[in-house]
Chain A
């Protein structure tokens, strides 16, 4: 979101508002906070008194609020909500120091895509910040993060649907080869239903030694296509970006041609 990227730039200046000694307030005040918290734990049967401002906290509150603006995914981290507890009547007199998360309320895909058309027509100059929107807007795209898993995509020749394999759950190439067989054996058999009668599911073997019908290859972090099995396992895991199971007969051609998406799709 626009607001967030801008806040990223502004941040260092805001932090200068916090005097050096007070920047570790979280740590310093822990003990004193503990006791105030205990005090708060004491039974209060009356209405909660949480709104009362303790002395000297309003500044801290505002500063703390500002610290939230750093995060790209922060929630409504704007600069003037804290004062609302104390200045109820002057809300409309606040001047906005900077942009705000989620305002104006335009969905991120509308911001991103407008960028494309702007380059074609010089109607209005594209704002520089739109580029940042692109990233933060797209960065918001939630591919659900699974904790600890290292999932890479794996596609197999002849099977239109890809799978994902968790490399962190494997320790060796043999294990990986076994998993590939498990993932694709059924799918491959389903693809071949029309050609062969009977539901025989042939195991997928010889992925690593070049002897089988299929061979396992991968794309590394430099974009190069490689045969699986040459380097130690841990080195492989650290550089692999995606996997592909190709026909052994196609090894030379598959590895030399580029991986343009368009090429693949326009086949």
Chain B
């Protein structure tokens, strides 16, 4: 994003056709501006601007738009006027004010917050990524806002209420991996957003406020096209849902939660044959209802009536004996998600053998290598495969292995994306996949046991991953695991020309590994590393490129605070967030987690106050040992150093980095008051 420069105010008369703002911020040699210019002098610029506006409005790709905006000031201005969907990959890369200052006509916002490792408890709760400042700013600036798509953002019920109140034309709300809100917030959106087309709650934590939010939808015909609430862990009013579906003629996508039984699903399907995407809810029957009814509903007939269903998911509490009911739709399916269904190969095979058109398939490893072989035999159009572990522990049995991977690579040549959890793997199978599947763009292999080598040869998994980066020329996302030496990273750095996202865990031998990656991989944007022996030397080796990356995450590595300080000092537009242990002594230099990202607006003001986290361990009585206090520090070095601001600590444990020279005295004073360190 280019920096804003404050433009000169141009008092040229308002061009008749364009609806741009009165302040024209384009400096131009032919318009020197304060006095009013003649029409002939400005006419060509009006035309140019209008032409540009009419052309640029067709640009959809944000990369194209970003490029166009760099041509010149006029193009920058017109592009800003015509951009209606804004994508912000890191909510802390800029402030909401900057968004609204630059883009005046935004109808759709895609916003991402926490880094992915936050999903695995590697980040303190209350870390941030709050929607509140965004929604309050947009409420004033974009009353015409239609769509909000949030990922890993903390959204409160109040935020949702503000959305519902501020945007009369609001159409789409998509919340992926979000939290902080409950069914009461959803109820407000359902009730007040009369033009709502899409309400998708995907893998989000939704608190059960015991509100019948389904009944809050308006009574008349709705515009709903997509309603996904499979992650909502709360019972729903089925009768109201049935009514809602009945009066939503445009509804195509419906994802039910596990509180909807098979009987209820049956009733819904009979009333909504136009559905194209269905999340089946529990797929088990409600015991009471089952015993009462004499005859079981004909589930297969209901599915048969749904000729348009191409995407099937759910099966949250699957009763496998009812699975054959879905046979009628299998032949049409392009997407099948069995990742909550613990089914054996024998139950699985009859189904998959019918799914010839399948392109996206998610499942649990309970289908075993045998099931994967069946997939390989049938699903020749497969593009995306995800196999999740039924028992996600390091030492679990692991029913899938290199055999399944090999089979898939041989059968599904068009494969583009794979996520595969397993307990054992061989280089040979990975190499085979690299050779058989040239279209791979996403390769994520998770060998669950840490540092596991090739279980046949005993060698590290270097050659396998090396082959992936060498042979899969379109690879943009890579996640590695198993026993890996620096050699694997040498391959990545050298051959990973298009890699944008790299996830590393428990891998590598030395700083050289990370250096290979930072000195290679020209397109690297997102780097997440945990529990790997990479230290300061490696971190410094990447300083030439951190401004070109969205973020870097390194936790449980070998970084020191001093080095992080140096990086922060050298790169003023980089926000360096550091967590260290709170204890004062020898450990004070250890960096537990480093999360750094470029930002146009400096370190955030909403960094959590500490003590961030205070957990009393049940087995320890000694208070000083038992309280784990995380100190949270945001570093940003300005060229000029501002005054000190002591950070209040809990039981005397405040970790911070500061500029020693000027603040020594201040630090002494603060120390005398009980702070262990101060920062600015």
Interface positions of A (Cβ within 8 A of B): 1-2, 4, 8, 11-12, 15, 23-27, 29-30, 33-34, 36-37, 41-44, 47-51, 54, 57, 60-61, 64-65, 67-68, 70-76, 78, 80-82, 84-85, 87-89, 91-92, 94, 96, 99-111, 113-114, 116-118, 120-121, 123-124, 127, 129, 140-145, 153, 155, 160-162, 261-262, 264-267
Contacts and interface: CB of A to CB of B under 8 A. Distances in A.
Contact of A64 (B215, B532, B587): B587
B620 interface: yes
- Across chains A and B, which 8 residue pairs bring their CB atoms closest together, nearest first? A48-B562, A102-B120, A70-B617, A50-B589, A71-B615, A57-B586, A81-B556, A50-B560
Contact of A61 (B188, B239, B485, B586): B586
Interface stretch (B82-90, B542-550, B625-633): B625-633
A33 B585 contact: yes
A211 to B, nearest CB: 28
Given A109-B203, A116-B316, A117-B316, A29 B585 contact: yes
Contacts of B95: none
Contacts of B533: 84, 87-88, 91
Interface of B: 117, 119-126, 154, 156, 177, 179-180, 184, 187-188, 191, 203, 205, 207, 209-212, 215-216, 231, 235-239, 258, 284, 315-320, 339-344, 364, 366, 388-394, 396-397, 399, 421, 446, 448, 450-451, 460, 483-485, 505-506, 508-511, 530-533, 535-536, 555-558, 560-563, 565-566, 579, 581, 583-590, 592-593, 613, 615, 617-620, 622, 624-626, 628, 630, 660-661, 664, 667-668, 671, 676
Contacts of B483: 92
A89 B510 contact: yes
Nearest to B593: A75
A73 B613 contact: yes
A155 B210 contact: yes
Contacts of B207: 141, 143
B342 A118 contact: yes
Given A99-B393, A103-B120, A114-B340, A141 B179 contact: yes
Contacts of A57: 585-587
B187 A160 contact: yes
Contact of B664 (A24, A41, A61, A108): A41
A104 B584 contact: no
Contacts of A104: 389, 392-394, 421, 446, 448
Contact of A25 (B212, B238, B585, B620): B585
Q: Residue among A71, A103, A110 with the most chain B CB within 10 A?
A: A103
B126 A161 contact: no
A183 B506 CA distance: 53
Given A24-B624, A51-B560, A60-B586, A15 B619 contact: yes
A260 to B, nearest CB: 10
B389 A106 contact: yes
A249 to B, nearest CB: 22
A120 B586 contact: no
A153 B210 contact: yes
Contacts of B664: 41, 43
Contact of B510 (A2, A88, A105, A107): A88
A36 to B, nearest CB: 8
Contact of B584 (A37, A70, A111, A141): A37
B396 A127 contact: yes
Q: Residue among B211, B392, B622 with the most chain A CB within 10 A?
A: B392
A64 B628 CA distance: 10
A78 B210 contact: no
A27 B579 CA distance: 22
Contact of A54 (B317, B396, B586, B615): B586
B458 to A, nearest CB: 12
Given A84-B533, A91-B533, A102-B117, 13 more contacts: A15-B619, A43-B660, A47-B566, A60-B586, A73-B615, A74-B628, A91-B532, A105-B505, A110-B340, A110-B392, A117-B317, A117-B341, A144-B126
Given A75-B592, A84-B533, A127-B396, A30 B584 contact: yes
B563 A48 contact: yes
A33 B584 contact: yes
A142 B587 contact: no
B627 to A, nearest CB: 9
Contact of A144 (B180, B366, B394, B508): B180
Contacts of A80: 531
B155 to A, nearest CB: 11
B318 A72 contact: no
B212 A265 contact: yes
A88 B588 CA distance: 20
B37 to A, nearest CB: 54
A114 B126 contact: no
B258 A113 contact: yes
Contacts of A49: 562
Nearest to B344: A123
A265 B237 contact: yes
Nearest to A8: B618
Nearest to B624: A26
A261 to B, nearest CB: 5
Nearest to B213: A160
Contacts of A155: 210
Given A75-B593, A76-B555, A92-B485, A67 B628 contact: yes
B262 to A, nearest CB: 12
A26 B205 CA distance: 38
A100 B505 CA distance: 12
A11 to B, nearest CB: 5
Contacts of A23: 622, 625
7 contacts: A48-B565, A60-B585, A81-B531, A91-B532, A94-B451, A142-B154, A144-B180
Contacts of B661: 43
Nearest to B658: A41
B509 A70 contact: no
A39 to B, nearest CB: 12
A161 B187 contact: yes
B362 to A, nearest CB: 11
B122 A75 contact: yes
A162 B316 contact: no
A103 B589 CA distance: 25
A129 B561 contact: no
B124 A73 contact: yes
A61 B590 contact: yes
Contacts of B317: 116-117, 120
Contacts of A64: 581, 583, 587
A160 B536 contact: no
B585 A124 contact: no
Contacts of A108: 121
B203 to A, nearest CB: 7
A123 B122 contact: no
A91 B530 CA distance: 13
A123 to B, nearest CB: 5
B209 A153 contact: yes
A65 B590 CA distance: 10
A117 B342 contact: yes
Contacts of A70: 615, 617-620, 626, 628
Contacts of B590: 61, 82, 85
Contacts of B320: 120-121
A127 B622 contact: no
Contacts of B562: 47-51
Given A61-B586, A76-B530, A2 B617 contact: no
A94 B566 CA distance: 31
Q: Residue among B207, B448, B586 with the most chain A CB within 10 A?
A: B586
Contacts of B618: 8, 70
A78 B212 CA distance: 43
A105 B668 CA distance: 44
Contacts of A96: 394, 450-451
Contacts of A68: 581, 628
Contact of B531 (A48, A76, A111): A76
A78 B509 CA distance: 18
